[in-house]
Structures are given as structure tokens and as C-alpha cells.
């Protein structure tokens, strides 16, 4: 009996396919785009005249602050769809703390 005729002799070529692969591709694309935007703003802030430098640096910081907040909102909405109320509560609590901090900062 040859190796190809023996059903027990075949060794898998690798791990089985992951059924969850690609499920967060939109989030990954958003985060990669934000990273590219921050990089472009950072480099641009270094090479532009002083009058524009401050505006680009502020824009870069705003993007760096907003991206994690948008990610939490995105995840809370996903958890609502999945009815995972513990994570909805945790994410909403985090957003509430951020909101209170923003209000108190002004």
C-alpha cells in the first residue's frame, strides 16, 4: 500500500483554516488608514513653514486621540449587535469617563 492510498498516512500541510479570518477587516483598514494619516501629518509638520506647523501638529494629536475613541464606539456597537451586555457596559462606561473628562477639562 502506498502513502497516497493510506487515509491515515496523510499529514496536514498546516493549521486548519480560521473561520474568523477577515471578520474585522474594516476595523483593520480604518486603523491602518489612521496610522498612515498620522505619519503623513507628522512628516508634513516637519517640512512645512512655521505658520502651518502648529496646525498640522494639532491635527496629528487630534487623530491620535480620536482613533481609539472611534474604535471603542465601533466595538460597543458590535457588542450591542451580539448582545454582549457586559462589554457594552464596560465600553459605555469608558466612553462616559472620557466624556466627563472632556467636560471637566473645559
User: Does residue 78 lie within any of the structural domains?
Assistant: yes
Instruction: Report pLDDT for 67.
Output: 95
Does residue 10 belong to any structural domain of this protein? no
Residue 19: inside a domain: no
Mean of the per-residue pLDDT values of the chain: 88
Inside any domain, residue 37: yes
The pLDDT score that the predictor gives to residue 35 is 95
Residue 7 counted as domain residue: no
The per-residue pLDDT for range 50-100, each reduced to its tens digit, is 888 889 999 999 999 999 999 999 999 999 999 999 999 999 999 999 999
Q: Do the Cβ atoms of 75 and 87 come closer than 8 Å?
A: yes
Domain count along the chain: 1
pLDDT of residue 9: 62
pLDDT at 50: 86
* Domain assignment of residue 56, given as a range: 25-105
Please choose, from the candidates 32, 20, 30, the residue with its C-alpha nearest in 3D space to the C-alpha of residue 74: 30
Count CB atoms within 10 A of the CB of residue 21.
8
Which residue bears the cell 502506498?
Answer: 2
pLDDT, residue 6, reads 58
Q: Within a domain: residue 6? A: no
Amino acid at each position: 500500500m502506498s502513502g497516497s492510498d493510506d487515509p491515515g498516512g496523510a499529514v496536514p500541510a498546516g493549521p486548519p483554516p480560521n473561520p474568523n479570518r477577515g471578520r474585522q477587516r474594516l476595523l483593520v483598514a480604518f486603523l491602518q488608514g489612521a496610522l498612515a494619516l498620522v505619519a503623513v501629518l507628522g512628516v508634513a509638520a516637519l517640512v512645512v513653514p512655521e505658520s502651518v506647523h502648529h496646525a498640522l501638529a494639532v491635527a496629528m494629536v487630534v487623530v491620535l486621540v480620536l482613533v481609539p475613541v472611534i474604535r471603542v464606539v465601533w466595538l460597543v456597537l458590535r457588542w450591542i449587535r451580539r448582545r454582549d451586555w457586559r462589554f457594552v457596559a464596560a465600553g459605555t462606561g469608558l466612553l462616559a469617563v472620557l466624556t466627563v473628562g472632556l467636560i471637566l477639562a473645559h
